[in-house]
Structure 1
Amino acid sequence: MTLHIPTPLIESRPLSLAAGSNIWLKLDALQPCGSFKLRGVGHACEVHHARGVRQFISSSGGNAGLAVAYAGRKLGVPVTVVVPETTTERAKELLRLESAKVVVHGSSWQEANTLAQTLVGQGDAFIHPFDDPLLWAGHASLVDEVAEAGLKPDAVVLSVGGGGLLCGVVEGLQRNGWGDVPVLAVETTGAASLHAALQAGHPVELERIDSVATSLGAKRVADQALACAARHPVHSHVVSDRAALEACERFLLDHRVLVEPACGAALALTYDAVALAGYRNVLVVVCGGATATLAQIHAWLAVAE
């Protein structure tokens, strides 16, 4: 029994008509804590729990922190989550609903993460938001479920922040013998650390994150994400904040599921017929996001470029 649940795989008629391809949605927005993060985080927490850890420490005001909090509550392990000052009240409220202790520190995730590392004591486990082989192994289960359903896609579309989902999906594709299936990795302008690294041919740290898709806000992707791009077909795409936000609105209308702008980035590409030309069956990872509200998305749209 895993902490994550198998999520629906459905064909999207609205997206298929928009893209000119058969679009299949892996609805990980329906995980108990609202995002795909529970796959990897849950796996990591289960492994550490089996080793007898006494506390989970996390550094995320977003979906990773929520996944750790959920996993800790289900496993009966106390959780401390360090979040930056930019974290919304809604996100902090959701963390507390899962019985996590919330510590606010620093103006960025990097600063929150630095403090979180100092809180890890003997017998505790630090759960990284994206850069951990245990996470990637857990995220790979998403592809296993698609394979079990009998669908081999011609391409996979997903959003990239720190690269944890990308690493997991590539691992899943490889272990299912789908090394020929390309991944279309989507970021927003202002948070495109993978795109910058691929262009440079080596890891690049962005000077700052300048995007409303804060869940994609890793200034530097995991080194493993670049390694995956070197051994698997990974194609980088960048969309605007406005395109991501409009995709969130459109997806809510089409499928009655509200996702955050980080997920909207992948959906924005999927609504673009030109981007998917040549792919017959496309799998889209609807990664979710628990902290977005419709009012917030409308407010961002009012000022988005």
Structure 2
Amino acid sequence: MALHRETPLLESVPLGAVSGRRVFLKMENMQPAGSFKLRGIGRVCEEAANAGATRFISPSGGNAGYAAAWSGRELGVCTTVIVPVTTSEEAKKAIASLGAEVIVSGKSWKESNELALKMSGEDPKSKYIHAFDDPVMWDGHGTLIDEAAKQGPKPDTVVLSVGGGGLLCGVVAGMDRNGWGDVPVLACETEGAASFAAAVAAGEIVELDGITSVATSLGARAVAPMALELTRNHRIIPYVATDEAAVSACGRFLDDHRVLVEPACGVSLSAIYDNTPLLGDAGTVLVVVCGGIGISAAKLRDLETRFSLS
């Protein structure tokens, strides 16, 4: 049985009011592991466990590692999660609480990934769990569109956040298999973590010098090559917002829906709250509320104070 759960699709009256559109929210924050990551990573882990893996090794900005740790806990497989120094204390403690070994290594996902590859190469019974670049994972992530297609109307635009591009790859695959291939995707990032927008602008994968955004879960210095490849056959529009806009959206969403999400998710919500012209004349919008464990009430208050939003 799949480790992920079907999540609600809710129509947001507050977001509809500020944008003049019908806005539907796919509430991936309600997954047992706190984010959409459980869909794809859970599928990868299940397949690996069935094939005899005795350890999962995951490099992560927090949410992927938590999903791997959750999967390991559910499947009875030891899990090691390697996180960069940018990962929040909340995320590290949450991962460790599931019984996983947490190793802090590197300034970004790239450095954490190098250690994960080394460790998995030394243990033939381990399974390396990529944070975002795995076709099996993408297929798992795409199940959120399988659900949304049954739960509500076909949207005019899908809005989602992009870190390494795993969610984007999965959602586009899900859209294609549900007859939504003609629906554009607004791919949202924050300044200081916009590796997808940089790749689209350059026409090739671009590696950022570093991650400077507070949206640390978007901290992949380069996106999966497939994320860029998809732009050849699908209309994918980069949207880059400030950290301030992402944090502001988190606070507004908490007020409007009593739901706490991290800035990596807030950047997608900011596209609706700020009613970006990139949405065009889309009358119906589906927003993937991707969730995230790297947030708390206290941390949100601190971020709001930092940006003079409180």
TM-score range, shorter chain: over 0.9
How many residue pairs are counted as aligned between the two chains? Answer: 305
Name the residue aligned to 1:288: 291
2:61–2:87 contact (8 Å) kept in structure 1: yes
Q: Secondary structure at the match of 1:119?
A: helix
Determine the C-alpha separation between the residues in 2 that align with 1:181 and 1:129.
26
- Partner of 1:190 in structure 2? 192
Counterpart in 1 of 2:58? 58
- Structure 1 residues 45-124: aligned runs within 5 Å: 45-120=45-120, 121-124=123-126
Amino acid aligned to 2:134: D
Q: What is the Cα deviation at residue 86 of structure 1?
A: 3.2
Letter in 2 for 1:211: S
| Counterpart selection for 1:230 from 229, 232, 246 | 232
1:299 matched to which residue of 2? 302
Matches of 1:86 and 1:264 in 2, distance apart? 18
Q: Which deviates more from structure 2 when the two are superposed, residues 149-158 or residues 61-70?
A: 149-158
Give 3-state SS (helix, strand or coil) of 1:86's partner.
Answer: coil
TM-score (norm 1): 0.97
Does structure 1 retain, via aligned residues, the 8 Å contact 2:108–2:219?
A: no
- Is the counterpart of residue 43 in structure 1 residue 46 in structure 2? no
Tell me what 1:32 maps to. Answer: 32
Q: CA deviation at 1:288?
A: 0.4
Aligned partners of 1:99, 1:262: CA distance in 2, in Å? 25
Question: What stretches of structure 1 of length at least 5 have no aligned partner?
Answer: none
* 1:61/1:92 contact within 8 Å kept: no
> How far did residue 50 of structure 1 move?
1.4
- CA offsets 1:119-157 (integer angstroms, 9 cap, x no match): 111121000010111110000000000112242111100
1:261 aligns with 2:263: yes
With normalisation by structure 2, the TM-score equals 0.95
SS of residue in 2 equivalent to 1:288: coil
Q: Is the 8 A contact 1:20 1:277 kept in 2?
A: no
Residue in 2 that maps onto 1:205: 207
- Asked whether the 8 Å contact 1:61–1:81 carries over to 2, the reply is no
| C-alpha contact (below 8 Å) 2:9/2:26 kept by paired residues | yes
Equivalent residue letter for 1:153: P
Structure 2 Cα separation of the partners of residues 279 and 164 of structure 1: 24
Render the CA deviation track for 1:208-258: whole Å, top value 9, x for unaligned: 111100111111111000011111110111111000000000000101110
Shift of 1:85: 2.9
| Unaligned 5+ runs, structure 2 | none
Partner of 1:208, secondary structure, is coil
Query: Cα distance, 1:273 vs. partner?
Result: 2.7
What value does the CA root-mean-square deviation take over the aligned residues?
1.3
Partner of 1:220: 222
CA apart distance, 1:274: 4.2
Separation in 1 of the partners of 2:116 and 2:9? 36
Q: 1:96 deviation in Å?
A: 1.4
Query: How does 1:158-173 map onto structure 2 within 5 Å?
Result: 158-173=160-175
Whether the aligned pair in 1 keeps the contact of 2:108 and 2:211 (CA below 8 Å) is: no
What pairs with 1:4-43 in structure 2 (closer than 5 Å)?
4-43=4-43
Q: State the shift of 1:181 in Å.
A: 0.6
Distance 1:154 1:85 in 2: 39
Contact 1:162 1:221 in 2 (8 A): yes
1:290 partner letter? I
Query: Whole-Å Cα distance in 1 between the matches of residues 216 and 8 of structure 2?
Result: 26
